[in-house]
With several copies, the nearest count.
Chain A
């Protein structure tokens, strides 16, 4: 399941649902990205998507991960729009028979989201706003999988 949403969501509620009713799945890995900042700040981040395009591209990544790591299921939820301090920005959930596949798929999907998903992130800080671009570390991380 791939969902882009401009509303806050609860990663725990998603994990509860994701774990239910399984019997072949031995391993569920998850990653939650949270918005860092100072308490009391208004929106610290703004995420822009390309409507009609971003969701499909993220879906292609998820399908690639599912095939490569033999996943039973994958869920990605990504906030768009204005995001406050402490809010979940992204949630990736992966289910597999064994832990290595679940971990690697989750790690892989986060690396892809950081540098290949059509999303653009603007940080609002005390010194103004700036568009975030993938770091050298992000680029090196994603190349581990190629």
Chain B
């Protein structure tokens, strides 16, 4: 199982903020395909410039292997302050 969190505009595009994918795909990229499956808008939003992913609360560059129970967050461009 992979626990997926969407933030900011990604949650608005997807229509959800939090969802479990069971079983967990083997990699981050495979999970991303699965999340966006059949939703071209969400696929584009996840691939937009500046979107980052965090696996178990660590920022990831590129792909990564996923273990069962992983928390995967997709983070659009950040803007605090």
Q: Do A and B bind each other?
A: yes
Once the chains bind, are B81 and A131 in contact (CB under 8 Å)?
Answer: no
Please report the C-alpha to C-alpha distance between residue A58 and residue B81 in the assembled complex, in whole angstroms. 11
Q: Is the interface of A mostly helix, strand, loop or mixed?
A: mixed
Once the chains bind, are B80 and A47 in contact (CB under 8 Å)?
Answer: yes
Once the chains bind, are A132 and B7 in contact (CB under 8 Å)?
Answer: no
Mark contacts of B51-81 with chain A using CB atoms, 8 A cut-off: 1 yes-contact digit, 0 otherwise.
Answer: 0001001000000000000000101111111
- B-facing residues in A67-124 (Cβ within 8 Å): 78, 89-90, 99, 110, 113-122
Please report the C-alpha to C-alpha distance between residue A120 and residue B73 in the assembled complex, in whole angstroms. 13
Residues of A within 8 A of B (CB-CB), count: 28
Known: A48-B7, A50-B5. Is A121-B54 also a contact (CB below 8 A)?
Answer: no
Once the chains bind, are A133 and B76 in contact (CB under 8 Å)?
Answer: yes
Interface positions of B (Cβ within 8 A of A): 5, 7-9, 12, 50, 54, 57, 73, 75-81
5 A-B residue pairs with Cβ-Cβ distance under 8 Å, sorted by A, are A99-B81, A115-B78, A118-B7, A119-B78, A134-B79
